[in-house]
Structure 1
Amino acid sequence: MNNSQQIAARFREVILNGTWIANTNYKDQLENLDWEIATQQFHNFNTIAVLSQHIHYYIAGILNVFEGGTLDIKDKFSFDFPEMKSKQDWDKFLSKFWNDSEKFARYVEQMSEEKLYSVFVDEKYGTYQRNIDAMIEHAYYHLGQIVLIKKGIIENA
């Protein structure tokens, strides 16, 4: 497996199908989660739905660059999402999350070594590899929060 394929596998592991690092992944935590639990406030933490949308926001933003677009995401907007009001809203979001994540992984696994080490949009952002690695690390950070919030909601129900 080349470097791009290894990085893509790490990305899929945290979002879609792995258990090696955290013994779980986003799909495992969210796929059969009732939308009312996903949107339930627990203490003053972000909801599971908001944290999931936050991660998707960055995946979609970087994916847009992979597809030839511009980098339009801004940290200040990364928690601003319309309220989810139904199971249909939740299911639609999850479908987009899984599809965009798989597209993201396919782009990564097809990247040449040269592309991986090239500048991502602007020198201040570092390389493609740095941004992909940051996406993986960021996803694990919020996955841990999701697991704890979910546990807190279910145990207090």
Structure 2
Amino acid sequence: MNESRRIQTLFTDLYHGHPWLDVTLQDTLGKITSEQAAQHPIKDGNSIWEIVNHIIAWRQNVLRRVQGEVLEIPENNYIEQIIDTSDEAWQKTLETLETTQKEWLYFLSTFNEANFINEYPRNNLTYYQHIHGIIQHDAYHLGQIVLLAKITNP
């Protein structure tokens, strides 16, 4: 198995497979209602929904980076207040996350592994480090979501 395929497996496992940490984005988020997702159970903390949008935006950002774009990070670090808290809007957010999953898997299936050593000019980290970093970012925020879900639905 080549490295891109191994990384695809890591993306798939964390999203809806059988990861070592035993929780997935899809299973966890699929049990959360729009009402739960919009709650702010921790003072000055983010909602589940804000975190999911943050995950989506960073997945998109890093994908564009490893495709050669140089990007600015917004001051809000992709954390924005949720205005529409309807069930439909929550489903659309989950669909957008699914879209980023498909985009990453497609990218990795077509990626030239010789480009793993390319460096992103803003931080001099390699594409390989960025790709693993986004998986780590997803896992980090999944942990937050699991805890927030327990608080919002005891």
Give the TM-score of the pair, scaled to structure 1: 0.86
- C-alpha root-mean-square deviation of aligned residues, in Å? 2.0
Structure 1 residues 73 and 123: alpha-carbon distance in aligned structure 2, compared to 1, 3 A threshold:
closer
Cα shift readout 1:56-79 (whole Å, capped 9, x = no counterpart): 110111223455654243363321
**Other-structure match for 1:145:** 144
Structure 1 range deviating more: 70-79 or 53-62: 70-79
Where 1:76 maps in the other structure, the secondary structure is coil
Q: Aligned runs of 1:17-36 on 2, under 5 Å?
A: 17-36=16-35
What code does the residue aligned with 2:126 have? T
Q: 1:101 to 1:75 in 2, by over 3 A?
A: farther
Conserved 8 A contact 2:50-2:79: yes
Q: Rate the CA distance shift 1:123–1:117 in 2: closer, same or farther, 3 A.
A: farther
> What does 1:107-118 correspond to in 2, within 5 Å?
107-118=107-118
Structure 2 vs 1, CA of residues 31 and 12 (structure 1 numbering), >3 Å: closer, same or farther?
same
Can you list the C-alpha shifts for 1:8-28, whole angstroms capped at 9, x where unaligned?
2112222x2123222111111
The farther-off stretch of 66-75 and 91-100 is 66-75
Is residue 94 from structure 1 mapped to residue 81 from structure 2 by the alignment? no
Partner of 1:105: 105
Ranges in structure 2 where 5+ consecutive residues have no aligned partner = none
CA distance in 2, matches of 1:126, 1:79: 23
Question: C-alpha separation between the residues in 2 aligned to 1:32 and 1:119?
Answer: 38
In the aligned structure 2, how far is the partner of 1:123 from the partner of 1:149?
33
* Corresponding residue of 1:124: 123
Q: What amino acid sits opposite 1:11 in the alignment?
A: F
Quick check: 2:41–2:152 contact (8 Å CA) kept in 1? yes
Counterpart-to-counterpart distance in 1, 2:64 and 2:100 = 10
The answer to whether 1:40 aligns with 2:39 is: yes
Between the two proteins, the alignment pairs up a number of residues equal to 153
Give the CA deviation at 1:46.
1.2
Change (3 A) 1:117 1:69: closer
TM-score by length of 2: 0.88
Question: In structure 1, what is the Cα distance between the partners aligned to 2:130 and 2:81?
Answer: 23
Identical residues among aligned pairs (%): 25
- Distance change (3 Å), C-alpha of 1:75 and 1:59: farther
Paired residues of 1:4 and 1:109 also in contact (CA < 8 A): yes
